[in-house]
Amino acid sequence: MLSIGRTSRVRQGFAPTHRHDGRHNKKSRRRPIGHPDRVGCEHHQQTQCGASAENLDAPYGTIRSAAVGNSQWDVYFFGEFVSPVEPLMATSVERNVTFSRNVEQESHVPTADDQRIDKKFQEQLGFLARSCEMFDNGHEEEALRLATSLRVFLHDTRSSTSLLSHMGLNGIDVLSTSRGHGDWQDYLAHEIRPVSPSPVWVRPLLGNEFNAIPKADWWNVESVFSHGGESYTRRVIICSAANKDGGAHVDSKLEEYYEILCAGEYGPSLTVDPKGGGQYPFTTGVPHYAKNAHLGLIRQFAHEFLTTANHNGWCKK
């Protein structure tokens, strides 16, 4: 028997159109911008807290028995005979992007330094787009490169200036895909793959509905992960990945919150009863959690930033 810990919504398809508190999203605040329709089926199946869901049809097979808990998250089930999962693909606004300075805002002839900054802006947008495609093709470690490029765009310190500051763009609005929880559920969905050595994974929701908020709030105010009464922003997670987890530097020890984020024990788990028979490519009798939430979150942040670039007319194919 497969036991799915602390989950009450069994969902087929991709990005949800319902809030996790049961209310519909307010379309006036969350609007589609420059994205194709979502992939997958919007049908979802509700189960009662603590109930079992028998023979659940899933995109790639069936799980015979799944016990569920009482929290509301998006979970994808992949059955015993799993075809290779079709990768998420970088969307059209995330491909082959370059930056073009708005000449109407220029009050002087661009200097050699201006031209160099423009070129670097173009390079970093290209880095983001290419790493997004590689991530979507299965190279999830590209999220660490995404974190480094996002830091280059956004992070100002006493000794370094961000590209947005160089370009005079700190006053812009950035598109957020938050669904109002202030936590990872706004950005990620879990996958259950009983035939994988790592049976629980997360994937970014991406999506085409956004809230436009000031860049300062997007970067360092809006909560994207909460644990132990503390909230963490995009800036904190991106800088941890870039500065300590291999984006640009590797530290011998990670911050405690980041280790918790990577461990995934705040989310759904999968436990297989060893007495139930059958062979699995992972240890039975113990809970398994998603270990890639930090990478999925960073991919989602890159999606938001690249869509912002396209929406503001910075990008050209």
How many beta carbons lie within 10 A of that of residue 295, not counting itself? 24
Alpha-carbon distances, residue 18 vs 40, 53, 115, 187 (angstroms):
15, 21, 45, 13
Longest CA span, the chain: 75
Written as six digits, the tokens of 34 are: 């420059």
In terms of Cα–Cα distance, which of 41, 38, 63, 44 is closest to 53?
Answer: 63
Alpha-carbon distances, residue 238 vs 58, 143, 209, 299 (angstroms):
33, 10, 22, 10
Give me the tens of pLDDT residue by residue for the chain, a chain 317 residues long: 555 665 333 333 333 333 334 343 444 345 455 443 322 222 233 222 232 333 333 333 333 333 333 344 556 554 433 333 344 445 544 544 433 344 344 456 778 888 899 899 989 999 999 999 999 999 999 999 999 999 999 999 999 999 999 999 999 999 999 999 999 999 999 999 888 999 999 999 999 999 999 999 999 999 999 999 999 999 999 999 999 999 888 999 999 999 999 999 999 999 998 888 888 999 999 999 999 999 999 999 999 999 999 998 877 55
Please name the amino acid found at residue 175: L
In terms of Cα–Cα distance, which of 77, 67, 74, 72 is closest to 4?
Answer: 67
Are the C-beta atoms of 44 and 7 separated by less than 8 Å? no
CA pair distance 82, 97, nearest whole angstrom: 35
Question: What pTM, to 2 d.p., does this model score?
Answer: 0.73
Residue 5's pLDDT is what?
60
Give the three-class secondary structure for 279: coil
Dihedral angle of Cα 18, 229, 71, 73, to the nearest 10 degrees = 40
Are the C-beta atoms of 91 and 205 separated by less than 8 Å? no
Torsion sign over Cα 272, 278, 280, 284: positive
Rounded to the nearest angstrom, the gap between the alpha carbon of residue 294 and the centroid of all alpha carbons in its chain is 8
